[in-house]
Each structure stands twice: as C-alpha cells, then as structure tokens.
Structure 1
C-alpha cells in the first residue's frame, strides 16, 4: 500500500488556519486500483487528491475504486476532482467507482447532481466486484 503524493510516497497535507488533514492510500490489488481517502477534501487538500487520482489512472484500463468512507467533509473543489477523474478514467477505457454511503459525501454529491454521473457504490465489496462497461452508468 502506498500513501499518495506526486510520486506515490508517504504524505499528509495540512491547511493553514483550522487544520485540515487528508490522507490518501493507494494499492493495486487483483487488477483494481484502490484509493482510500481519510479526512477533509476542501480547497487546500483537493490538489493532493487530484494528484493521487492521476497516479491511480496511470494503471488504466484497471478500474479505480475511490473509497470515500473516511471523508468527513467534501467541498466543491473535491466535487470538481471527482467529475474530472470520472471523465478522465472513461477517456482511458477505465472507470472510477466511488464508495460513499454517508451524509458528508452523499449530500454534496446529490446536491451537485454528480450522483447522476458518478458510479456510486454503498460499500467496497460491491465496488470491487461490480461488472461494468467504461463510460456507462452502473445498474
């Protein structure tokens, strides 16, 4: 398992003012890239998530499973990163599968309308075992 930064090495990100913290772990297992996010995804931390997802997409056409169950806050910059990488994965013949089952993530995703675009799953097992055609909505 790797902690992700620009070169997929250990890292943490802190914002100025009230401390915002984000930890991103990446692992390739059984042909699926797992990216686990813990903390807050906001203006200060979204660039780290973006870099980590770019690194994860380099394994295309392997699916990328983005586990957001450890996210306490998802702001607009994080929503932008999700949309960008959804399209980026599809363009490479892959798919971004997002694991989200709690209000701090689902509420902003639904308010933004991204729930109609993203491939959302309630748990990691379903996300890793789901059959899927890249670029098509999941059933």
Structure 2
C-alpha cells in the first residue's frame, strides 16, 4: 500500500508491505505524482516495508535522479534491517539520504535548501 501526504512543501510517499520484482512499480506512480507537484523535497518513507529487493533499490535510484532533475532533494526513511541492508550492501547509502524518521528527514531537507 502506498500513501501520499504533505509536510509543508515536502511531499511524503509512505509505503508498507514488500517491495520486490512483482510489485516495485507501485512506487513509480506516487513518486511521479509527488514530483509533478514540484515539491521542495521528497521523502520516501519505507518504515513499514518488510522486504526490499533489488527492484525497489532501482526505483529509489530512479526517484533520486528524477527528484534531482526537478530541483527537489530526496530522503529515504527507514530503520528496518530489511531495507537498510540492501542499501548499504550496494553502496547506495552514500547516494541516498537515509534518515531514521520522517521528522528527521524533513528537518534535514529544510536545512539543506
């Protein structure tokens, strides 16, 4: 399940469940909709994701590139091993802004503007 919300000028896309080859495209539509609204920042909240496969990683990299192209900064939120481990194992933790909470991510995005 994917939900969208706003924190001031920051768009938040919340995802729960599993992200794998069979359903990773569920990220694309909500992220595209969020970016088409021209937010100052985008937060992809993966706090409730229980499985995160390589297809999900690919979608995050695509989202970060699209976000950057629109001038919006992007952060990923999770504290779950299932999400953090593949991000770290692929070296993407240096590319993706990973934070432990939506409020921390929002503060970081506002401070970086």
2:13 corresponding residue in structure 1 = 35
* Residue pair 1:60, 1:89 contacting (<8 A) in 2 also: no
Q: Tell me how far apart the structure 2 counterparts of residues 59 and 104 of structure 1 sit (CA, whole Å).
A: 30
- Supply the distance in 2 between the matched residues of 1:60 and 1:118 (Cα, whole angstroms): 19
Match of 2:72 in 1: 94
Q: Greater shift after overlay, 92-101 or 52-61?
A: 52-61
Partner of 2:112: 132
Normalized per residue, which structure has more helix?
A: 2
Displacement of 1:50 in angstroms is 1.4
Provide the aligned C-alpha RMSD in A: 1.1
User: Is the CA contact 2:99–2:105 (under 8 Å) kept in the aligned structure 1?
Assistant: yes
Q: Contact between 1:38 and 1:70, CA under 8 Å: does it hold in 2?
A: yes
Cα distance, 1:37 vs. partner? 0.5
Rounded Cα–Cα distance in structure 1 between residues aligned with 2:24 and 2:7: 25
**How far 1:36 moved relative to its partner?**
0.6
Task: Calculate the TM-score normalised by the size of structure 2.
Answer: 0.92
**1:69 aligned counterpart, secondary structure:** strand
Q: Following the alignment from structure 1 to structure 2, what is the Cα–Cα distance between the partners of residues 49 and 29? A: 19
Are 2:54 and 1:54 equivalent residues in the alignment? Answer: no
In structure 1, list runs of 5 or more residues that go unmatched. Answer: 1-22, 134-139
| Larger relative contact order (Cα-Cα within 8 Å, sequence gap ≥ 6) | 2
Runs of 4+ in structure 1 off by over 6 angstroms are none
CA drift of 1:71 comes to 0.2
TM-score (norm 1): 0.76
Unmatched 5+ stretches in structure 2: none
